[in-house]
Structure 1
């Protein structure tokens, strides 16, 4: 008996060691994710009241007003476009509806700042549209009025065109899952299809739609490239200006704290509405909603309403960027551009691998433990999706710069040797910022695949003598390979598009495609900016194609 107990104790030791190592990694990842928020709070409070008083009297009201106006415009615009398109392709039938329900996802591959470059090229005063208008009418520059693309309204339109797929995908899934019984009951009681939509279908889909709108809004407050190029003064541009142009670190930290507070409020709202999104219909499987056949002008109208977002958000920008790229002097195969591509691919590849490994450690630790510590680690790890890249950059640079300077001072005093900046300005700190920003996306993809692994499989593996790490390696990872590949692609493309964190934190003389596109556009060299923009879009199409395949399978 004593021999059996000793053997059992020895066999449990690797399991405990494996769980302890996994918990250490998961908690370390959560600590890194929470560090930027804590550092921003400390830096903002240490800035004193003089800085915040100066901001309140000068730029803060303007930043807050512009950010709030942009949020309201983008929120209402993505709601109208996303929900309207989802309803039409789900509940009606018209020519090419199957193609459009997939194509409506394509604008998700575009960064908003890329659309800004394309539409500025054709809609600005020297652009194609206004030039043709003046040639056709003989008007001078002051003889007519034309909407200003470089404005808050223009930035809102660019963001709506690339962010409405968030709302479209979630609303479409909610409409497909609804039972036809309640909708038919409303029709039987005399409601028109439109009235039944507003009284029945829309309220039932509200939680999913609200989640999509909040995701679009959080991407809006995190945007830097579009608002900076259009000259819209938001919190995102204010942080960058305070950090680089005014060299006001305290002001940048306090602006970052304001933006962080707003972002976390939105994240709490999203989590609350998602947690309360419960609906039970015992007749759910009894009858699905029958799609109505549209004919004549109704079919034409439905086709136009669904085709316009695709044309404006994907087709037209690709055509414009391609024509701009052909007329530019940028050589994509030159050593300089190959360096940009290499830098972008290196950062995106390393960040994707690190982020997915972090997601696996956090997700698997929560599955094994399930206690308060594991749940807290997963919650903190998810907060990064609500934190703009500029805030994460400031939150990581402040503590690590202090550490580097303190270490350098100690080494100088003790050994008369300067270590310089070991962490600040390194690729690894930038990779950490990407991990914090996009870990939620990788964690969501991992947990979605993990739901297919029944807990009985874990018990069977443990009964066969597998440790937690062995269970993960031999059971979970082979089953989760498609989900992990999707997570890798999503993070890879998100890193390719990320601009504010890259601008602030990139190592010296280490530029990416996004930075090159932003630099050329800032110098009004839009034709040149089209070349790196096209490469970014081409990379972004990879995960979108995967999403389109899932949409096509209904």
Structure 2
């Protein structure tokens, strides 16, 4: 009896329809803030943007661009220099510095800003000691102003250079010694071989690290706001709250979004052009140069400076400030801040990692243009500053809440209030959009270790797609998922601009409390929540340090 022919246009039911719908939903949520900002900015009229261009826009653009340039130069110098020293040379303490150079990554830049302002400002320890020793008055000497654009750049460089250091170190470790030794054999000095051979080979990785640091710079709010540097990030907050100018905030957010997406495209193009490779068939490891005497001492100093000023000194200062403050970490008020922070961070981490699993598994199971586009959109959040995401979500959901409330009032004489805009869930969505790329990076790194034949074996044994994910992938990916949870958890604990704009009324976190106390010039009090944030931030950094220790 002839068998009926299968319809080639009909797809088999594979249990992934729900995955497809949820993946598109996640991608839509990630795309919503960018679309909402663009629509709100374009509907604001030309009068608003003309006024901004005549008043604050040039100042915001100039400060943001200058800050980005300073941070890119600083992170390049510190990150590449430290990576080269610990990879290609040997000196006392090199094993310690390999790991310790990652520690500043646990510090938010605004926490360093509070610590160094307490030490270097006019009433601080350094200038007070200088006046006591010399007998000078306030106008008798010049001292660098910490609350300045240069000061903000220094704080950001100290906490962001590990991005460049980690990527450059990995690139240097993967290089073969053959090309470097060939350059030396042809008469090039060690410095010439470094600049002409090793540095160009590592250029894609270094450029990616610098661009990541620059994207974090333009997204920063706490540091620049505290130092009084007027950038796009502070302008958005000022327009939204202080001036109640929603159209102005949206147009400033669109400017910052355009800059951030341009940097994201640069970073992606940079990775796409990463075609440098060693054509030699023999992979020969570079023998590190043994340093002694003055050169060894100089290497210790150069590697010790970022660790000292980026981690050790801030902790000492914050501990000293916290001990002398009147803040009681175990009071009901502070326990409430901790509970709010942990609740937000844990909820956001779970939601974000679940979204990463959805997008990543659907892309693996149904490779194609639709799944790849959804994954690309989901990754865009890392390039979008928190203030832009906040404005982009507040505008449409505030419109929805106000429309629903007006309809309920006119129809049933009932006020629904702010159902979505004033809730914790909208803030959780903002965190998911902002940090989904980080969770997907950790998830996909683990997923790459699962061979595709395991999927085929599970399906041949009768497992559905969801069963394959639950019984095969998730048990294998448990360490990667834990890493993703920790990374998102800590990022949410440190996040400030979106939390300030979107948090429910009277729902403050440790980051908000630290910012509020510092804004009131109560730096000793701000040290207490800052120390808790740093202590929690050390968790993923310890994981990174363990990975660094295994790489050699």
TM range (shorter): over 0.9
Tell me which residue corresponds to 2:517: 520
Decide whether the 8 Å contact of 1:83 with 1:171 is kept in 2.
Answer: yes
Decide whether the 8 Å contact of 1:178 with 1:284 is kept in 2.
Answer: no
Matching residue within 358, 370, 373 for 2:370? 373
Deviation for aligned residue 1:347: 0.1
Decide whether the 8 Å contact of 1:347 with 1:431 is kept in 2.
Answer: yes
Tell me which residue corresponds to 1:283: 280
**TM-score for the superposition, normalised by structure 1:** 0.97
* Structure 1 segment 198-209 matched on structure 2, within 5 A: 198-209=195-206
Decide whether the 8 Å contact of 2:14 with 2:465 is kept in 1.
Answer: no
In 2, Cα distance between equivalents of 1:126 and 1:406 = 52
Q: For residue 329 of structure 2, give the secondary structure of its aligned residue in structure 1.
A: coil
Matching residue within 389, 393, 416 for 2:390? 393
* Structure 1 segment 408-447 matched on structure 2, within 5 A: 408-447=405-444
In 1, Cα distance between equivalents of 2:227 and 2:494 = 18
Tell me which residue corresponds to 1:120: 117
Q: For residue 16 of structure 2, give the secondary structure of its aligned residue in structure 1.
A: helix
Tell me which residue corresponds to 2:549: 552
In 2, Cα distance between equivalents of 1:530 and 1:286 = 50
The answer to whether residue 261 in structure 2 is matched with residue 264 in structure 1 is: yes
Matching residue within 139, 150, 153 for 1:153? 150
Instruction: Tell me whether 191-200 or 392-401 shows the greater mean CA deviation.
Output: 191-200
Deviations 1:3-47 (A, max 9, x none): x999x99xx99x726210001111100000000000000000110
In 2, Cα distance between equivalents of 1:286 and 1:221 = 40
In 2, Cα distance between equivalents of 1:282 and 1:472 = 39
The answer to whether residue 222 in structure 2 is matched with residue 225 in structure 1 is: yes
In 1, Cα distance between equivalents of 2:412 and 2:114 = 52
Q: How many residues align?
A: 549
Tell me which residue corresponds to 2:400: 403
The answer to whether residue 381 in structure 2 is matched with residue 384 in structure 1 is: yes
Tell me which residue corresponds to 1:449: 446
Deviation for aligned residue 1:282: 3.8
Deviations 1:66-99 (A, max 9, x none): 0000000000000000000000000000000000
Q: For residue 18 of structure 1, give the secondary structure of its aligned residue in structure 2.
A: coil
In 2, Cα distance between equivalents of 1:540 and 1:97 = 24
Matching residue within 530, 533, 550 for 2:530? 533
Decide whether the 8 Å contact of 1:63 with 1:234 is kept in 2.
Answer: yes
The answer to whether residue 72 in structure 2 is matched with residue 75 in structure 1 is: yes
In 1, Cα distance between equivalents of 2:189 and 2:234 = 47
The answer to whether residue 337 in structure 2 is matched with residue 330 in structure 1 is: no
CA RMSD of aligned residues (A): 1.5
Decide whether the 8 Å contact of 2:88 with 2:288 is kept in 1.
Answer: yes
Decide whether the 8 Å contact of 1:179 with 1:284 is kept in 2.
Answer: no
Tell me which residue corresponds to 1:473: 470
Decide whether the 8 Å contact of 2:14 with 2:464 is kept in 1.
Answer: no
In 2, Cα distance between equivalents of 1:307 and 1:244 = 42
Deviation for aligned residue 1:283: 2.7
Instruction: Tell me whether 345-354 or 15-24 shows the greater mean CA deviation.
Output: 15-24
Matching residue within 192, 196, 209 for 2:193? 196
Decide whether the 8 Å contact of 1:181 with 1:284 is kept in 2.
Answer: no
Q: For residue 289 of structure 1, give the secondary structure of its aligned residue in structure 2.
A: coil
Q: Cα distance 1:284–1:256, how it changes in 2: closer, same or farther (>3 A)?
A: farther
In 2, Cα distance between equivalents of 1:360 and 1:285 = 39
Q: For residue 531 of structure 2, give the secondary structure of its aligned residue in structure 1.
A: helix
In 2, Cα distance between equivalents of 1:39 and 1:84 = 42
Q: For residue 553 of structure 1, give the secondary structure of its aligned residue in structure 2.
A: helix
Runs of 4+ aligned structure 1 residues displaced above 6 Å come to none
Tell me which residue corresponds to 2:61: 64
Deviation for aligned residue 1:395: 0.1
Q: For residue 95 of structure 1, give the secondary structure of its aligned residue in structure 2.
A: coil
In 2, Cα distance between equivalents of 1:374 and 1:286 = 37
In 2, Cα distance between equivalents of 1:172 and 1:285 = 21
Deviation for aligned residue 1:411: 1.4
In 2, Cα distance between equivalents of 1:89 and 1:192 = 19
The answer to whether residue 249 in structure 2 is matched with residue 252 in structure 1 is: yes
Tell me which residue corresponds to 1:41: 38
Instruction: Tell me whether 145-154 or 412-421 shows the greater mean CA deviation.
Output: 412-421
**TM-score for the superposition, normalised by structure 2:** 0.98
Decide whether the 8 Å contact of 1:180 with 1:284 is kept in 2.
Answer: no
Deviation for aligned residue 1:538: 0.2
Tell me which residue corresponds to 1:110: 107
Decide whether the 8 Å contact of 2:382 with 2:436 is kept in 1.
Answer: yes
Tell me which residue corresponds to 1:344: 341
In 2, Cα distance between equivalents of 1:305 and 1:5 = 75
* Structure 1 segment 499-514 matched on structure 2, within 5 A: 499-514=496-511
In 2, Cα distance between equivalents of 1:219 and 1:508 = 27
Tell me which residue corresponds to 2:52: 55
Q: For residue 145 of structure 1, give the secondary structure of its aligned residue in structure 2.
A: coil
Decide whether the 8 Å contact of 1:44 with 1:254 is kept in 2.
Answer: yes
Tell me which residue corresponds to 1:464: 461
Deviation for aligned residue 1:279: 2.8
Decide whether the 8 Å contact of 1:264 with 1:386 is kept in 2.
Answer: yes
Decide whether the 8 Å contact of 2:423 with 2:504 is kept in 1.
Answer: yes
Deviation for aligned residue 1:285: 4.8
